[in-house]
Amino acid sequence: DIVLTQSPGTLSLSPGERATLSCRASQSVSSSFLAWYQQKRGRSPRLLIYGASNRATGIPDRFSGSGSGTDFTLTISRLEPEDFAVYYCQQYGSSPWAFGQGTKVEIK
Amino acid sequence: EVQLLESGGGLVQPGGSLRLSCEASGFSFSDYAMNWVRQAPGKGLEWVSGISGSGGTTYYVDSVKGRFTISRDNSKNTLFLEMNSLRAEDTALYYCAKYMILFGGVYDASDIWGQGTMVTVSS
C-alpha cells in the first residue's frame, strides 16, 4: 500500500504570505493520480487539485499543485483569511486510496 | 444542485451492525463511481470503500474487508454501506463522496461530498 506523508504538520503564517505544503509518497503515484483537499473545522472536505496540478471547478488561481512520482506540492501564493484550514493529499492511482495525515495552516 | 445526503448513523454496541445510506440528487447517479470516506473524531481522513457506476466493481480498505459491504441502487439514486462486526475503531463521521469523471471508474478524485453521518461504536 502507498503511504503518504505530509509536511509540515502545522504551518503558521500571516495573511498575504505564501504557503508551501509537501506530500511525499512511499512509492511512485501512477499517472500523477494525486489530489489535494481543503477541510475547514466542522465542514466536509473540498476538492482543490486533481491530477497533481489541475485546479477543480471554482478554485481560485492562488492555489496550485505540482510534482510527480513520489513528491508533490500544494502552493497557496497569497493566503487569504478563508484559506486557514487543514489540507490533505490523496493518491488514487492504486487501492487503497490513501490520504496523508494532513497539514494545518494556521494564522500566525 | 448536486447534493449527497447521508443517513443511518447512530450509537451501536461492539459487534453490532448498521446500514448507512447516501441519497444523491442533481446528477445522473448511475454514471458516476462513488465512495465512502470516514474521519474519526479529531483525526484525518480515511478512505473506506469505492464502487463503480454499475455496482459491478468494489474496493475496500483492508481494515473493513469481510465486515463492510458497499452497494448501490441506481433506480433509487442511493449508495449504501452495510457495516457488520463493528469495533470501537470504526467510530467516525462517515462521508459519502462522488468521483469526478463521467463514466469514469474509481481511479479518480472526489469532487462532491455529503455532510456525513456519525457512527459511534461503544458499550
User: Are B107 and A35 within 8 A, CB to CB?
Assistant: no
Q: Is the pLDDT of residue B103 over 90?
A: no
Q: Is the pLDDT of residue B41 over 90?
A: yes
> B91: burial class by Cβ within 10 Å (0-12, 13-18, 19+)?
middle
Are A62 and A74 in contact by the 8 Å Cβ rule? The answer is no
Q: Is the pLDDT of residue B88 over 90?
A: yes
Q: What is the helix, strand, coil percentage profile of chain B, to 5?
A: 5, 50, 45
**pLDDT tens-digit series, residues A30-88:** 888 999 999 999 999 999 999 999 999 999 999 999 999 999 999 999 999 999 999 99
**Residue A29 confidence class, pLDDT cut points 50, 70, 90:** very high
Calculate how close chain B gets to A30, using CA atoms only, in Å.
10
Mutate to test the interface with A, among B107, B112, B117 (most CBs of A within 10 A): B107
Q: Look up residue A30 and give its DSSP letter.
A: G
CA B116/CA B98 separation, integer angstroms: 13
B89-113 mean pLDDT: 93
- In chain A, the residue whose alpha carbon lies closest to the alpha carbon of B113 is A44
**Predicted pLDDT of residue A60:** 98
